[in-house]
Amino acid sequence: MSVPKAVRQRAGELHRELHEHNYRYYVLDAPVITDAEYDRLLRELQDLEVRYPELIAPDSPTQRVGAAPSKAFGEVRHEQRMLSLDNAFSDAELGDFDRRVCERLEVDAVDYAAEPKLDGLAVSLLYEHGVLTRAATRGDGVTGEDITANVRTIASIPLRLAGRGIPAILEVRGEVYISHRGFERLNLQAVKDGQKPFVNPRNAAAGSLRQLDPKVTAARPLEFYCYGVGRTEGGALPERHSEILVRLRDWHLRVYDGIERVHGLQGCQAYYRKLEAARATLPFEIDGVVFKVDRLDQQDSLGFVARAPRWAIARKFPAQEEQTRVTGIDVQVGRTGALTPVARLEPVFVGGVTVTNATLHNEDEVHRKDVRVGDTVIIRRAGDVIPEVVRVLREQRARGAPVFHLPKHCPECGSAVERVEGEAVARCSGGLFCPAQRREAIKHFASRRAMDIDGLGDKLVDQLVEQELIHDVSDLYRLEVEQIAGLERMAQKSATNLVKALEKSKATTLERFIYALGIREVGEATARILAEAFGDLDALMGADVEDLQVVHEVGPVVAQHISAFFREPHNREVIQRLRGAGLHWQAVEPGAARPLAGRTFVITGTLSMPRSELKERLQAAGARVAGSVSKQTDYVVAGAEPGSKYDKALALGIEILDEAACLALLK
């Protein structure tokens, strides 16, 4: 049956529209229609293709998951070898590279294209007359595996390029990866399905690309960024690498936004520092920065050695994962009595610092990871995050290594350890009898965001408690210069300064004071809300569980903790003594300075600041920050890679703000 003209025309329109929406969604990250609308268009095209199979073209948007499972991957010979990169592990090594480049080119300085080095898998995509016809892994650089069917399932890889001047043959090279969020979701699902979670995003991406059934690959959150071209024929490209990338972007390929042209070694160092600082906030894993001589004629004259070009280098970040040995597992007691197992480690340099401890969170976590004393483990330290044990290298475990169990009695005070059913955390039942809890409570009280007592560091608190100079926070205000000056690493001047700082801290705010008390589950945001709602401390202290729950953000558990805290006679006495010592604050006017009161916000995607910080700031301005989008939502704040909340906001017609617009609103 021949295809009626109108049907062919409609199929063509749908092709174009769907490619465009795909590009907007996955490459530009700026969709203009809802998921539902996209699905409707796709279904319309599928229906047409079912009725008229002649319409099915290899680049049809319906053909992403078309291929049947195969038995093995075919081989692909790279006509232009896929090179790898030399590494520089220090500023000095980067300097050596730049010097070699300049010497060979006989110039003082060159322009470099600076790009993040994604921790994924290099792939080659062949576009013939703008249509994706083949995709291959790097393999040994000369021969790779044919992974076309799998790559077709990756939504950010266009099946057809758009725009003008596309070479008849264009081989694009880039990195397939999985974002942090994709990885989290993937592992949540794996655990739910009773499967072993993936070790890291790179392994997950590699495993996903090497699936013989493309349907499995399609279900994996793979993404792609391109970083260059290989073979090209029948069309000219610009003469600078950075301009080629712009051209690729024009043709709808996904190119990272933050790629820059920098000048000379200094430009490289500045870009490296910038990316290093931004690393923790990026939505994907990077392990360094790639610098490439920008001018292609200069690249040509530099050539390459062995498997790497002389015109490019990867300046690697300090490794975030390293291997070391667990020398012991200690148990720390926190402010609220929570027992935290901590792995003591043979010192290892990771993420730019020497690490000797890693948190094991709680007993269940130790058992889940099966960490035992003597084990060889992989440690991870990313950004400012507390180092943690990623996994144990079981094959290296000594026979008979005993399983770890939390003690039945507090290692600090001997009180019974209790674990409420359904809770992951076990706690010491000693309360303020336990010196560890007292120490931690005092450290919290003195901390910057609480009473902000300058000069009262952790080590000093340890000494003060150990030498029984203080028993609770109210004793701090009775300390005398002479007592403090006699302590280790203290002198007359530092002791005088501390007494002054204590004096200064007496003038505070109600919300800081409530936060400083260290009531379970009462963080800064809740403290602020309580101060706002009750206006003064006596009203809060007199509130029962029902009164507390009238406050919007206070649920039954938090209300119980607050009420129990103020019912405890010891706590009331300490508060009394603090007030007696002169701690004071201004009365809070309910509703003051809360321009966003009554507004509900939802945050989605990756922001340049921690999400918790924006949440705090919104709450400080009186807004409510909810976890999901509903008709009651006033604004959705969308960062990079927003999730389904973004789509829902679009569907419900809720105002969407980017981070800058939200900050402007806060001003």
CB of 655 to ligand 5U1, least distance (A): 36
Residue where the block lists tokens 């799998």: 150
How far out from the chain centre does Cα 374 lie? 31
Which DSSP string do the residues of 103-162 spell out, in sequence order?
HHHT-S--EEEEEEEESSEEEEEEEETTEEEEEEE-TTSSEEEB-HHHHTT-TTS-SB--
Tell me which residues in 351-390 interact with ligand 5U1 (CB under 6 A). none
Structure tokens at 412: 């600090």
CB of 241 to ligand 5U1, least distance (A): 9
Kindly tell me which of 118 and 151 has the beta carbon lying closer to ligand 5U1.
Answer: 118
Contacting ligand 5U1 (CB under 6 A), which of 49, 111, 115, 294? 115
CB of 211 to ligand 5U1, least distance (A): 23
Kindly tell me which of 115 and 532 has the beta carbon lying closer to ligand 5U1.
Answer: 115
Scored b (16 or more CB within 10 A) or e, 229-243 reads bbebeeeebeebbbe
The window from 83-91, 92-100, 208-216, 446-454 that contacts ligand 5U1 (CB under 6 A) reads 83-91
Closest CB to ligand 5U1 belongs to which residue?
A: 227
CB of 260 to ligand 5U1, least distance (A): 12
Secondary structure of 547-585 in HEC code, one letter for each residue: HHHHCCCCCHHHHHHHHHHHHCHHHHHHHHHHHHCCCEE
Kindly tell me which of 64 and 315 has the beta carbon lying closer to ligand 5U1.
Answer: 315
Kindly tell me which of 151 and 410 has the beta carbon lying closer to ligand 5U1.
Answer: 151
**Which residues are CB-neighbours of 386 under 8 A, at least 6 positions away?**
358, 359
Kindly tell me which of 302 and 533 has the beta carbon lying closer to ligand 5U1.
Answer: 302
Residue ranges of the alpha helices (H) in 473-553?
481-485, 492-505, 510-516, 524-534, 537-541, 545-550
The window from 82-90, 102-110, 371-379, 407-415 that contacts ligand 5U1 (CB under 6 A) reads 82-90
The window from 81-89, 92-100, 152-160, 185-193 that contacts ligand 5U1 (CB under 6 A) reads 81-89
Helix 5-22 and helix 35-51, axial crossing angle in degrees, nearest 10: 150
**301: exposed, middle or buried (Cβ count in 10 Å: 0-12, 13-18, 19+):** middle
Tell me which residues in 226-245 interact with ligand 5U1 (CB under 6 A). 227-228
Question: What's the CA gap between 137 and 206, in Å, rounded?
Answer: 10
The window from 78-86, 403-411, 509-517, 568-576 that contacts ligand 5U1 (CB under 6 A) reads 78-86
String marking each residue 178-197 x if it binds ligand 5U1 according to CB under 6 A: --------------------
Q: 3-state class of 173 per DSSP?
A: strand
Active site annotation includes 408: no
CB of 310 to ligand 5U1, least distance (A): 10
- What's the residue count for the chain? 667
Question: What's the CA gap between 631 and 627, in Å, rounded?
Answer: 13
CB of 288 to ligand 5U1, least distance (A): 9
Contacting ligand 5U1 (CB under 6 A), which of 85, 360, 530, 625? 85
Q: Is residue 309 near ligand 5U1 by the rule CB under 6 A?
A: yes
Structure tokens at 277: 């600082």
Kindly tell me which of 113 and 530 has the beta carbon lying closer to ligand 5U1.
Answer: 113
Question: What's the CA gap between 613 and 610, in Å, rounded?
Answer: 5
Residue ranges of the alpha helices (H) in 251-323?
264-278, 296-302
CB of 69 to ligand 5U1, least distance (A): 30
| Helix or strand holding residue 41 (H, E) | helix 35-51
Kindly tell me which of 307 and 611 has the beta carbon lying closer to ligand 5U1.
Answer: 307
CB of 523 to ligand 5U1, least distance (A): 40
String marking each residue 32-51 x if it binds ligand 5U1 according to CB under 6 A: --------------------
Question: What's the CA gap between 613 and 627, in Å, rounded?
Answer: 15
**Which residues are CB-neighbours of 620 under 8 A, at least 6 positions away?**
525, 528
Contacting ligand 5U1 (CB under 6 A), which of 83, 464, 473, 640? 83
CB of 384 to ligand 5U1, least distance (A): 25
Contacting ligand 5U1 (CB under 6 A), which of 76, 88, 122, 161? 122
Kindly tell me which of 273 and 572 has the beta carbon lying closer to ligand 5U1.
Answer: 273
Contacting ligand 5U1 (CB under 6 A), which of 157, 253, 312, 575? 312
Kindly tell me which of 175 and 532 has the beta carbon lying closer to ligand 5U1.
Answer: 175
Kindly tell me which of 175 and 363 has the beta carbon lying closer to ligand 5U1.
Answer: 175
The window from 114-122, 180-188, 377-385, 629-637 that contacts ligand 5U1 (CB under 6 A) reads 114-122
**Which residues are CB-neighbours of 639 under 8 A, at least 6 positions away?**
603, 604, 605, 606, 607, 608, 658, 659
Contact in structure between 144 and 324 (CB atoms under 8 Å):
no
**Which residues are CB-neighbours of 71 under 8 A, at least 6 positions away?**
212
CB of 276 to ligand 5U1, least distance (A): 15
Kindly tell me which of 117 and 279 has the beta carbon lying closer to ligand 5U1.
Answer: 117
CB of 232 to ligand 5U1, least distance (A): 15
Contacting ligand 5U1 (CB under 6 A), which of 292, 427, 439, 648? 292
Q: Contacts with ligand 5U1: how many residues (CB under 6 A)?
A: 13
Q: Which of 126, 130, 127, 117 is nearest to 144 (CA)?
A: 126
The strand pair at 584-585 and 507-508 is best described as: parallel
Contacting ligand 5U1 (CB under 6 A), which of 63, 70, 84, 356? 84
Q: Phi, psi (5° rounding) for residue 347?
A: -55, 135
**Which of 5, 71, 117, 645 is labelled catalytic?**
117
Active site residues: 117
Residues that bind ligand 5U1 (CB under 6 A): 83-85, 115, 117, 122, 175, 227-228, 290, 292, 309, 312
